[in-house]
């Protein structure tokens, strides 16, 4: 039966072909098996990693060994086998690198550090409410051409009192009682940042347009509403022909930027030894809009700063000719507006470093910034 014989031949032929193919592909299968085995290795210390290297990548290692098989592969299969071999080599090398990196960390971990762990998230804080208020004031005056100056908190009597038309025994000194330094009766903790403006004026460079933020001190009983230290920003502008109208316009611009376009202002005559004339400036209450609430004590107005034209005696004390130059000055506290703005009921909280308060402030400042469309730092 020629047909049956030829079928048998064909099947024999097929078998032979399968066999040959199996023989040819044996190294490929072998490689797959070795790959699986190598891939499953999990070395935890450098000794096992080195053992892995020797076994697979060493001069008498498996990779080299299989490479040697290349000469037995028929020519028409060399290309295919070469590719498989290269992939295998790369696989083992990558695995080795992986193990090496892992065992490095294991070593670190035995010394108490695991560099593969994700880092601790940096807790996101917020600027202190006093700093935020200060920065806002600075940025508004910056746009009007004012620079910022800072001065010493421990000051001598001249720069804090006498130069400001407050000679010894002046009754207004009573209201600014402060702390004195034992070693030198002339030294004290400054009661306002005017000391810094006096120092700027003494430099003799005119015109001057400067604001001076900083911490100041008073001999006061500490309570929820007053403290023996707090923060202030003062400013002066000295040039030829500076008038009270300049002062009013500047401060008007300032409050509009600070408290919004709808705010109303009023000036009330006042007295400060260092300015003449002097005034206090109120704004329509930014809590109730002027209708009357507890904050403005039902008056509709909130006092925010004191100001006036610099007294000629003060100019003279700093060797500035009052017949040629004139200037205005103003000063405001930072704590009180911050208390109102962030709805805080105790001034002591600002300086107690109580993390619960500071964390609470993060939320109030954020929501306030969102409402006012401000960016961080403003």
Question: Where on the chain is the footprint of ligand 2NL (CB under 6 A)?
Answer: 194, 197-198, 232, 234, 236, 272, 274-275, 306-308, 310, 314, 329-333
The least distance separating ligand 2NL from the CB of residue 287, rounded to whole angstroms, comes to 20
Contact 198, 205 (CB under 8 A): no
The least distance separating ligand 2NL from the CB of residue 363, rounded to whole angstroms, comes to 29
The least distance separating ligand 2NL from the CB of residue 142, rounded to whole angstroms, comes to 19
Q: Which is nearer to ligand 2NL, 27 or 327 (CB)?
A: 327
Contact 307, 271 (CB under 8 A): no
The total of other beta-carbon atoms located within 10 Å of residue 56's CB is 23
CB-closest chain residue to ligand 2NL? 331
Q: Which is nearer to ligand 2NL, 103 or 196 (CB)?
A: 196
Q: How far apart are CA 124 and CA 378, in angstroms?
A: 17
Q: Which is nearer to ligand 2NL, 38 or 149 (CB)?
A: 149
Q: Which is nearer to ligand 2NL, 81 or 274 (CB)?
A: 274
> What letter does residue 342 receive in the DSSP assignment?
T
Q: Which is nearer to ligand 2NL, 27 or 331 (CB)?
A: 331
The least distance separating ligand 2NL from the CB of residue 304, rounded to whole angstroms, comes to 9
Radius of gyration of the chain (CA): 41
The least distance separating ligand 2NL from the CB of residue 337, rounded to whole angstroms, comes to 11
Q: Which long-range contacts (CB under 8 A, 24 or more apart) does 202-205 make?
A: 202/318, 202/319, 204/319, 204/320
Q: Which long-range contacts (CB under 8 A, 24 or more apart) does 336-339 make?
A: 337/133, 337/304, 338/129, 338/130, 338/132, 338/133
Contact 197, 232 (CB under 8 A): no
The least distance separating ligand 2NL from the CB of residue 378, rounded to whole angstroms, comes to 22
Q: Which is nearer to ligand 2NL, 193 or 284 (CB)?
A: 193
Contact 129, 359 (CB under 8 A): no
């Amino acid at each position: 039966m020629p047909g049956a014989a030829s079928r048998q031949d064909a099947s024999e032929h097929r078998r032979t072909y399968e066999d040959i193919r199996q023989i040819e592909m044996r190294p490929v299968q072998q490689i797959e098996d070795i790959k699986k085995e190598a891939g499953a290795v999990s070395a935890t210390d450098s000794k096992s990693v080195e053992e892995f290297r020797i076994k697979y990548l060493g001069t008498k290692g498996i990779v080299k060994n299989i490479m040697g098989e290349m000469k037995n592969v028929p020519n028409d299969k060399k290309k295919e086998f070469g590719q498989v071999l290269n992939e295998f080599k790369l696989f083992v090398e990558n695995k080795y690198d992986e193990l090496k990196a892992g065992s490095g960390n294991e070593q670190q971990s035995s010394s108490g550090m695991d560099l593969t762990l994700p880092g601790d998230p940096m807790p996101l804080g917020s600027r202190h409410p006093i700093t935020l208020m200060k920065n806002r004031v600075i940025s508004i005056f910056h746009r009007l051409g004012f620079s910022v100056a800072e001065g010493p908190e421990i000051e001598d009597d001249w720069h804090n009192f006498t130069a400001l038309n407050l000679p010894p025994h002046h009754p207004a000194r009573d209201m600014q009682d402060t702390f004195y330094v034992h070693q030198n009766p002339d030294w004290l903790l400054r009661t306002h940042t005017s000391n810094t403006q006096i120092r700027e004026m003494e430099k003799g460079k005119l015109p001057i347009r400067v604001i001076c933020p900083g911490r100041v001190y008073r001999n006061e009983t500490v309570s929820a509403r007053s403290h023996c230290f707090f923060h202030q920003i003062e400013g002066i502008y000295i040039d030829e022909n500076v008038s009270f109208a300049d002062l009013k316009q500047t401060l008007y611009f300032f409050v509009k930027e600070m408290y919004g376009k709808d705010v109303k202002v009023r000036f009330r005559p006042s007295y400060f030894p260092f300015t003449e004339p002097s005034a206090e400036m109120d704004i329509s209450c930014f809590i109730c809009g002027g209708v009357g609430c507890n904050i403005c004590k039902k008056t509709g107005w909130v006092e925010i700063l004191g100001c006036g034209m610099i007294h000629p005696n003060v100019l003279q004390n700093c060797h500035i000719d009052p017949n040629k130059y004139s200037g205005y000055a103003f000063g405001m506290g930072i704590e009180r507006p911050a208390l109102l703005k962030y709805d805080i009921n105790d001034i002591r909280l600002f300086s107690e470093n109580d993390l619960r308060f500071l964390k609470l402030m993060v939320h109030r400042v954020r929501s306030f910034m969102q409402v006012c469309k401000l960016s961080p730092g403003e």
